[in-house]
Amino acid sequence: MAKFKVYISDYDYPDLSIEKSVLEPIGAEVIGLQCKSGAGLAEQAADANAILQQYAKIPRSTIEQLTQCKAICRYGIGVDIVDVKAAYEHGMVVTNVPDYCIDEVADHTISMGFMLLRRLPMYAASTKAGGWHWRNGGGPMFRFRTLSWGLIGFGRIAQNITRKLQVFGFNVVAYDPYVSKSLMGSFGVQKMELNELFGLADVVNVMCPYTPETHQIVNAQALAKMKKTAMLVNCARGKCVDNVALYTALVEGQIAAAAMDDSEEEPAKMESWSPANNPLFSLDNCFITPHVAYVSEQSLNECRYIAAENARAVLLGQPPINPVYPRK
């Protein structure tokens, strides 16, 4: 009989070999579920000693029913889909994997920005339609070293982005109320108020965690402050951007283009989804990837190992590598 029961709430990996290699040696049975929305998780994992969580939402109502659970271990950085406060109130530890994809998300973000600034999709569409002229990009292009790249959030990924952008000569500015002017200055970055950044930046890059205060931090008022030639790039949570307001801004030419790694409805967390759910998918100046900024062969394997190792530590009564605590 297994000493521990570890449930994977949901996963899109080909198998659970990595998780089993970490957890089976301590007597854990690893059980994979496909409870992507989180509905019914408490019933399916009623005897769980630990849960590894990908996309499933784990609210207070679920936590209250997981009476034997000691840990909720996120595959990934953000913990907005788990009620961290409720977990600790019920004697659980919450963990994440904060460092596994810093390069990947930074590189994906920069790739999106460069794609828009050089108008690559617009030119590709034009040539496929028989056009062959530099004017077919749909708008002006500028030297990178004359442009300002504005970061909303200045954590580890934004700092990685900064280091890489500066090689190309961008003026990098940032808004983050939790990071000092002096720390930003040590990266050669000017700290700005949010409204100032929206008005200055040629690329507005959302790179903050999703919290109540960053919900739709890019909204109609923010988009109205941006330059008509500016681009929006969001590789943070989809809900940081008001998609209805963005659709209006793109259709009416308030900004030039946008690229995002997730949409506001977050399709990966839905049981069923269609691009018809969101009109942004119908636009020629909006480009959306399916929440893949974190993906590489190396990052996926690292994430799975660390999530499982966090669970292993808690089950053995040891402090986990990456605990996450309730927001004060």
Q: What is the DSSP string of 146-169?
A: G-EEEEE--SHHHHHHHHHHHTTT
pLDDT at residue 18, as a whole number: 98
pLDDT mean across residues, the chain:
97
pTM: 0.91
Q: Which H or E run includes 5?
A: strand 4-8
pLDDT at residue 269, as a whole number: 86
- Residue 270 confidence (pLDDT) above 90: no
Cβ-based neighbours of 153, under 8 Å, separated by 6 or more: 174, 175, 176, 206, 207, 208, 209, 214, 236
Active site residue 90: no
The pLDDT > 70 percentage for the chain reads 100
What is the DSSP-derived secondary structure letter of residue 183?
H
Q: Torsions phi, psi of 238, nearest 5?
A: -60, -35
Q: Looking at 291, 304, 309, 312, which residue is catalytic?
A: 291
Active site residue 291: yes
Active site residue 237: yes
Q: What share of the chain is helix, strand, coil (3-state, %, to 5)?
A: 40, 15, 45
Once rounded to an integer, what is the mean pLDDT over residues 5-28? Answer: 97
Whether 166 and 188 have beta carbons less than 8 Å apart is answered as: yes
- Residue 239 confidence (pLDDT) above 80: yes
Residue among 259, 325, 319 nearest 292 (CA): 259
pLDDT tens, residue by residue, 147-188: 999 999 999 999 999 999 999 999 999 999 999 999 999 999
Q: Looking at 237, 304, 309, 312, which residue is catalytic?
A: 237
pLDDT at residue 230, as a whole number: 98
Whether 278 and 243 have beta carbons less than 8 Å apart is answered as: yes
> For 299, left (φ over 0), alpha (ψ -120 to 50), or beta?
alpha
Whether 245 and 219 have beta carbons less than 8 Å apart is answered as: yes
Amino acid at 170: F
Once rounded to an integer, what is the mean pLDDT over residues 248-271? Answer: 95
CA 61 to the chain's CA centroid: 25
Q: Looking at 24, 29, 196, 266, which residue is catalytic?
A: 266
Cβ-based neighbours of 169, under 8 Å, separated by 6 or more: 143, 144, 145
Q: How many CA atoms lie within 13 A of 21 on its CB side?
A: 8
How confident is residue 1, by pLDDT bands cut at 50, 70 and 90?
A: confident
pLDDT tens, residue by residue, 101-153: 999 999 999 999 999 999 999 999 999 999 999 999 999 999 999 999 999 99
pLDDT at residue 183, as a whole number: 98
